[in-house]
């Protein structure tokens, strides 16, 4: 199969690299020349474990190339994947589809023979039919069919998720296009990956429903954690007791500072907007969005309260600013709400994050950056863990305490056992635990 991948962000680049590893010929396109220059120089513009090695292997095998020339990439392709961003549209919370439609129109002009135009970006229901219309408007004779192939990978575990997905969802209503999609994903047959073929609309809804459900699970356990704090329960014990019920499952039941990242916040919001527009409001997700937004602000308050209600003149060391570990992605990270609130309340903030600095430097003005947790904690009154990077899980608490002025740890990811931290002489505050 010959594949053109439009957009080389977190999803496009991982998908392009993995498809080439399946044995397909892949040309990845981006309109950012500096990104393509980096890729052509063998550098990976994002931090994603294992991506550099897999990319180098497939470039060396001659199956993977990078270009800014969309026309050349699309010519002769069996499938053209659109993997551009669909951020929140300013003002109304809908998904901004301008990048998707612009890419589709460019693709229309570049088609040379039959190709499937596959939307991999997360797009609201109805978008694939609109893509079809717009392609036909640009080129009424265009030889193509559309397919919806939403992506479920997680940043930080993206390659494994792509290579061993729980399922692949394909919305397709044209036999020839379905055949192309079957051929592209054939290597996953070996692993007996379930392939879910549906209509375009169902595929589009599946993606939003799945993300909204996971976001709901997180928000649910966060509110249970709040209750535990009031009544003396332990949310980790509660989550375990709940999660062992197979109908519930233990995943996504970790209480924390609220979900962030490039998907859940924008997708939950976009789903509520789509549903309202169709007069079928999803009130449970509307509430999830509200509760999660408020939670990020509450977490700043939690830190301030732990510091004795005043942080003016105090130094707070923040461990982790990316929205989760093993990524450099800062989009909608809780840190973007919490850190400015602490600075606004008068705190001096130092930050350590293994990969977050490049993105974080312009997003978090006014903080000082440290090389590691101990440097960040020097003379600090409080250490607050916002992201559960592995290197923060096994800190030498004696060394940490010695570096600090005060001895307070606020662990918003519950990565430490309260007795261990308290035995090391710290005041310790976590989420939903005594
Ligand atoms: N990031 C994730 O973990 C994840 C997971 C599943 C689904 N998704 C969805 O996948 C889509 C892409 O997300 P992302 O995080 O990879 O986005 P991203 O912002 O990291 O990357 C998008 C890329 O597309 C490029 N681009 C935009 N218009 C283009 C055009 N016309 N031609 C060529 N390149 C163009 C941009 O320059 C950018 O490099 C979104 O809809 C997102 O919701 C993301």
φ and ψ at residue 427, rounded to 5 degrees? -80, 135
C-alpha span between 175 and 397 (Å, rounded): 61
Which residues lie closer than 8 Å to 387 by C-beta, 6 or more apart?
319, 320, 321, 322, 323, 324, 325, 333, 335, 353, 356, 413
Q: Is the Cβ atom of 328 under 6 angstroms away from ligand 1? A: no
Backbone angles phi, psi at 331, to 5 degrees: -60, 125
* Ligand 1 geometric centre to CA of 83 (Å): 5
The mean pLDDT of 216-226, rounded to a whole number, is: 98
The verdict on the CB of residue 32 being under 6 Å from ligand 1 is: yes
Identify whether the C-beta of residue 125 lies closer than 8 Å to the C-beta of residue 274.
Answer: yes
- Mean per-residue pLDDT, 382-405: 98
Here the tokens at position 249 are 């499952």
According to the model, what pLDDT value does residue 216 have?
98
DSSP assigned state of 233: -
**pTM for the complete prediction?**
0.97
Residues 148-195: tens digit of each pLDDT: 999 999 999 999 999 999 999 999 999 999 999 999 999 999 999 999
How open is the CA angle 101-10-56, to the nearest 5 degrees?
Answer: 120
The helix (H) or strand (E) run that includes residue 175 is: helix 175-185
Residue 403 binned pLDDT confidence (cut-offs 50, 70, 90): very high
28 counts as catalytic: no
Closest residue to atom 19 of ligand 1, CA basis:
85
How many angstroms is it from 8 CA to the middle of ligand 1? 7
Q: Is 69 in the pocket of ligand 1 (CB under 6 A)?
A: no
- CB burial of 178-210 (b: ≥16 within 10 Å; e: otherwise) equals bebbeebbebbeeeeeebebbebbebbbbbbeb
d(Cα 185, Cα 44) in Å, to the nearest integer?
25
* pLDDT grade for 235, boundaries at 50, 70 and 90: very high
Structure confidence at residue 429 (pLDDT): 98
Kindly state the percentage of the chain with pLDDT values over 70.
100
Residue 12 Cβ inside 6 Å of ligand 1? The answer reads yes
Q: Is 121 in the pocket of ligand 1 (CB under 6 A)?
A: yes
Using pLDDT thresholds of 50, 70 and 90, give the confidence band for residue 203: very high
Digit-coded pLDDT (tens) for 103-152: 999 999 999 999 999 999 999 999 999 999 999 999 999 999 999 999 99
| 83-105 burial code (b ≥16 CB/10 A, e <16) | bbbbebbeeebbbebebbbebbb
Could you give phi then psi for residue 149, rounded to 5 degrees?
-135, 70
Closest protein CA for atom 13 of ligand 1: 85
Q: For residue 283, what pLDDT is reported?
A: 98
- Determine contact, residues 433/414, Cβ cutoff 8 Å: yes
8 Å CB contact between 276 and 100:
no
Burial (0-12, 13-18, 19+ Cβ within 10 Å), 252: middle
Helix (H, G, I), strand (E, B) or coil at 366: coil
Say how many Å lie between the CA of residue 46 and the centre of ligand 1.
12
Nearest to 108 by CA among 11, 100, 173: 100
DSSP conformational letter for 94: -
Return the number of other C-beta atoms located less than 10 Å from residue 391's C-beta.
14
Average pLDDT over residues 369-394: 98
Report the mean per-residue pLDDT for the chain.
Answer: 98
Atom of ligand 1 nearest to the CA of 103: 31
Residue positions counted in the chain: 434
Q: What is the pLDDT of residue 392?
A: 98
Residue with tokens 């073929």: 197
């Amino acid at each position: 199969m010959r594949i053109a991948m439009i957009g080389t962000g977190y999803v496009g680049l991982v998908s392009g690299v993995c498809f080439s590893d399946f044995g397909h010929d892949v040309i990845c396109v981006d309109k950012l020349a500096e990104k393509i220059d980096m890729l052509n120089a063998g550098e990976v513009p994002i931090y994603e474990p294992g991506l550099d090695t897999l990319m180098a292997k497939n470039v060396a095998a001659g199956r993977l190339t990078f270009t800014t020339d969309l026309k050349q990439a699309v010519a002769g392709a069996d499938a053209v994947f659109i993997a551009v961003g669909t951020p929140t549209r300013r003002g109304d919370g809908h998904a901004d589809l301008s990048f998707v439609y612009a890419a589709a129109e460019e693709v229309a002009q570049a088609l040379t023979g039959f190709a499937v135009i596959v939307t991999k970006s997360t797009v609201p229901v109805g978008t694939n039919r609109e893509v079809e219309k717009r392609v036909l408007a640009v080129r009424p004779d265009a030889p193509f069919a559309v397919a919806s192939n939403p992506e479920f990978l997680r940043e930080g575990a993206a390659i494994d998720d792509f290579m061993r997905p729980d399922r692949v969802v394909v919305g397709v209503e044209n036999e020839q296009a379905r055949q192309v999609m079957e051929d592209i994903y054939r290597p996953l047959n070996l692993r007996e990956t379930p392939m879910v073929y549906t209509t375009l609309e169902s595929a589009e809804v599946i993606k939003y429903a799945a993300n909204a459900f996971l976001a709901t699970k997180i928000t649910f356990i966060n509110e249970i954690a709040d209750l535990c704090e009031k009544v003396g329960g332990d949310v980790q014990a509660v989550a375990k007791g709940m999660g062992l019920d197979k109908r519930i499952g233990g995943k996504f039941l970790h209480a924390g500072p609220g979900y962030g990242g490039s998907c859940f916040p924008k997708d939950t919001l976009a789903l509520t907007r789509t549903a309202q527009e169709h007069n079928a409001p999803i009130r449970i997700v509307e509430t999830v969005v509200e509760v999660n937004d408020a939670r990020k602000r509450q977490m700043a308050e939690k830190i301030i309260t732990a510091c004795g209600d005043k942080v003016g003149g105090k130094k707070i060391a923040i461990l982790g600013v990316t929205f989760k570990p093993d990524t450099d992605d800062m989009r909608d990270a809780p840190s973007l709400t919490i850190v400015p609130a602490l600075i606004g309340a008068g705190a001096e903030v130092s930050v350590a994050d293994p990969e977050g600095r490049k993105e974080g430097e312009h997003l978090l003005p006014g903080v000082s950056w440290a090389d590691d947790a101990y440097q960040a904690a020097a003379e600090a009154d409080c250490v607050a863990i916002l992201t559960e990077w592995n290197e923060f899980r096994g800190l030498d608490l004696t060394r940490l305490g010695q570096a600090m002025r005060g001895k307070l740890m606020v662990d918003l990811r519950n990565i430490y056992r309260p007795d261990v931290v308290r035995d090391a002489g710290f005041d310790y505050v976590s989420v939903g635990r005594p």
